[in-house]
Structure formats: C-alpha cells, structure tokens
Amino acid sequence: MIPLRDRNPSGSFPLVTLLIIVTCTVAFLYELAAGPDLKRVLYEYALIPGHVTEGLQNGRLGLAGAAAPFFTMMFLHGGWLHLIGNMWFLWIFGDNVEDTLGPVRYLFFYLTCGLVAGLTQYFADPTSMLPALGASGAIAGVLAGYVVLFPGARVLTLVPLGFFLQVMELPAVLVLGIWFLLQALSGFLSIGGTGGGVAWWAHVGGFVAGLILVKPLKPRRVMV
C-alpha cells in the first residue's frame, strides 16, 4: 500500500519536517558528487556495525567516533527511490506530528527515534559489514507517533488488488499498522541472512521508539 495523502490538515507550517527533507536531499547530492569516492563517504558516515564493533574493541574509535554514524546515517540514502520514498512518507505524516509536539520536541523525537533505530540494527548483527543508511528508522518513529496521535485519520492510499490498483480512503492505524507488521515480518525472515540489503530492524526499532516516546513528549495543556 502506498499512501498518497492524508485528510488531516496541520495547523502550522512544518518547518522542521521541510528542513529534514532539504538536509537529506543535500546529503544525497553530496553522495552523488562523491563519484568514485562514494565508498569512502559511506565508510565514514554510514553505520557499519562491524566497523563500530572493531573500532571499540581495538580502541581505534572513542565514544564520540562510535556514536557519530548512528546520527549521520539518518541523512544518507542508497538511491533516488530510497530518498523519494522516505521523504514522501515524512511529508505526508510528519507535519501533523510536528504540529502536535512543536518544532523543538519534534526534532528531538525524530533524532531519538533515528538513534534507537540505528542501535536496534546494530545489535541485530554487530559484526555485519553491510552499511546501514537512510532516514527510514527515524521516519518509522514519526509514523508510530502519527498512529498514536491520529489513529482514525483518513489516508488516501493506493492499494494493489490483484493486477489492479485501487485508490481507497483508509484509517491511519490500518495503513501504518500493516506497514509495521510487514517490517517486523521481514526482519524475522532476514535472521541468518542479509535481509536483502534493507535495515528491517532499524524500521522496527524506530517505530517502537515512536510508540513509546510520542505521548510523554506531547505538551500538556495548561488549564486556566
């Protein structure tokens, strides 16, 4: 299922969401400009669990050096489709979460979900030498936040029915709930394999973090 848009207008301009999209786009253009140096860029800024583990074991990486890729990985992407897909989901669902939490809390929420996503992927296989990159884990947290805050919001969704595609209006809890179940199932099926190059456990970790964090971060209404 592909969400096209939601019928849940935001009450404010999604500045932080837009800045994240711009930052990810600029970072991807930097990747493209790297050309033959792309491997070096990924080695330095993507999360490579085995590289972090070896660096910590031999003392080559300090705490700051080991932590850095868990943040920088959120802004890199593996291709145009990867970037566009992630930014599309963020644009549809991020504005309402940002509007509810406020820009500062929303940015903290986004980065924390992304950090938890990276840590989940790391602990799933700390010896893996496959680079993990992308905003998917952080955005998974945003999707979870949206489900908690607006479970009944209607989402215009492109649904495959056999050989045909049908546009349907579905509740957010169904659209995003099915998305999460697919990520979790793919994660379990990837155990012992490569996961097809997709960081499924980062998606799961980010989503669970979003479920847990969004309510405590929601500003309390002051009664007068």
Any idea what the CATH number is for the domain that residue 36 is in? 1.20.1540.10
98 lies in a domain? yes
Q: Which two tokens stand for residue 128?
A: 């893996």
Whole-number Å distance between alpha carbons of 58 and 222: 52
224 lies in a domain? no
23 lies in a domain? yes
Determine the residue type at 186: S
Per-position pLDDT tens, the chain of length 224: 789 999 999 989 999 999 999 999 999 999 999 988 999 999 889 999 999 999 888 878 778 888 999 999 999 998 999 999 999 999 999 999 999 999 999 999 999 999 999 999 999 889 989 899 999 999 999 999 999 999 999 999 988 887 888 898 999 999 999 998 988 888 787 766 555 567 888 999 999 999 999 999 998 764 44
30 lies in a domain? yes
Tokens 């010896």 correspond to: 127
Determine the residue type at 196: G
Looking at residue 224, what is its pLDDT?
A: 45
222 lies in a domain? no
223 lies in a domain? no
50 lies in a domain? yes
Looking at residue 126, what is its pLDDT?
A: 92
Contact by Cβ (8 Å): 96, 38: no
Number of domains in the chain: 1
11 lies in a domain? yes
Domain extent, residue 21, equals 2-128+135-217
- Closest by CA position to 114, among listed 198, 28, 205, 53: 205
Q: Determine the Cα angle at 171 with ends 182 and 105, to 5°.
A: 80
Q: Determine the Cα angle at 172 with ends 168 and 178, to 5°.
A: 85
Determine the residue type at 90: L
- Closest by CA position to 92, among listed 187, 158, 181: 158
